[in-house]
Structure 1
Amino acid sequence: MQTTDVILKICEPPSSSECNGIAEIYNSIGWGGNYSHGEINAMYARGYHAILRSSGTVAGVVRAFGDDYSVTWLAELAVHRDFQGKGLGSVLMRELLNSHGHTAVYADVLPGQEGFFAKFGILPRSTLTTCSRAATTRGSQIKGQ
């Protein structure tokens, strides 16, 4: 990693260029969705997030939610395909744990990624099962849409 790598903790909605970068990350890893700036701003309006830039390019993001006391749920950790394998995901995880390591951290992990999360002490638990529901209408709660 170069010294030009910077993590930005943002307490306000991402800028237009950051929204474009986040959408590019999602598309590069197959999450797609063609998210609008309004949708990305809505997704990043609450909870914790960090945006990692490498040489000025938005290269990775991490988002999490919790009570800042006992529990944190990792919503996503995503690194643009062109920047994978360079340790940026680890930088983002360390940043999350520096901010929220005082809480239990939970993550739904895609198959094959368990080893990455295990490096940070986030381990599979046989007593936990992930349950979910698909969104019924994406964007219905975004103001102005």
Structure 2
Amino acid sequence: MNKSNAILKISTNLSAMDCDGVIDVYNSIGWGGNYSHKEIRAMYAPGNYYAILYFDEKVAGILRAFGDNSSITWLAELAVHSHLQRNGVGSILMKEFLKSHSHTAIYAEVMAGQEEFFSRFDISRKSSLVACSRAAVLRRS
């Protein structure tokens, strides 16, 4: 990946092109859910941290995080388009994220098999923490 063709957008209002790109990344890695632009804009609401990395005018990867900007930050997701994985996209997003959040503790729930990637950024498994979750309840329109 030629990094000179990369553009990083951080926490700005999402355009229709941004929304389409996020949806494309989600679909490429199996996270698709037929999201509307309205739903994507709600997920990437102002006040939350997010970064979108464009490569050759297409969304290559995204990172979303939430926190109090004082003591804790939860890294909600890091997703890289399936065709661009293992090309440095995730690393670019993580490095930029860590620049602005080094003053907080960072928590992340990591998909099995991805621990090594996150450990490169000092985000590692903690024996005292357990990930807990529940599935979303689908809303009826």
Coarse TM-score class (shorter-chain normalised): over 0.9
Structure 1 runs of 4+ aligned residues shifted over 6 Å read none
The amino acid across from 1:16 in the alignment is: A
Task: Return 5+ residue gaps in structure 2 as ranges.
Answer: none
Q: Is the 8 A contact 2:11 2:48 kept in 1?
A: no
The amino acid across from 2:65 in the alignment is: A
Give the Å deviation of 1:137.
3.0
Scaled by the length of structure 1, the TM-score of the pair is 0.91
Distance 2:83 2:135 in 1: 29
1:22-67 CA-partner distances (Å, limit 9, x unpaired): 0000000011111110100000004100000001111100000000
Q: Is the 8 A contact 2:63 2:93 kept in 1?
A: yes
Counterpart in the other structure of 1:44:
44
**Secondary structure in 2 aligned to 1:122?**
coil
> Is structure 2 residue 114 aligned with structure 1 residue 119?
no
> Is structure 2 residue 7 aligned with structure 1 residue 6?
yes
1:89-111 CA-partner distances (Å, limit 9, x unpaired): 00000011011111011100000
Task: Return 5+ residue gaps in structure 1 as ranges.
Answer: none
Counterpart in the other structure of 2:72:
71
Identity %: 54
Give the Å deviation of 1:135.
1.9
Matches within 5 A, 1:32-111: 32-45=32-45, 46-111=47-112
Counterpart in the other structure of 1:135:
136
- How many residue pairs match? The answer is 139
Matches within 5 A, 1:15-26: 15-26=15-26
Scaled by the length of structure 2, the TM-score of the pair is 0.94
Distance 2:138 2:85 in 1: 31
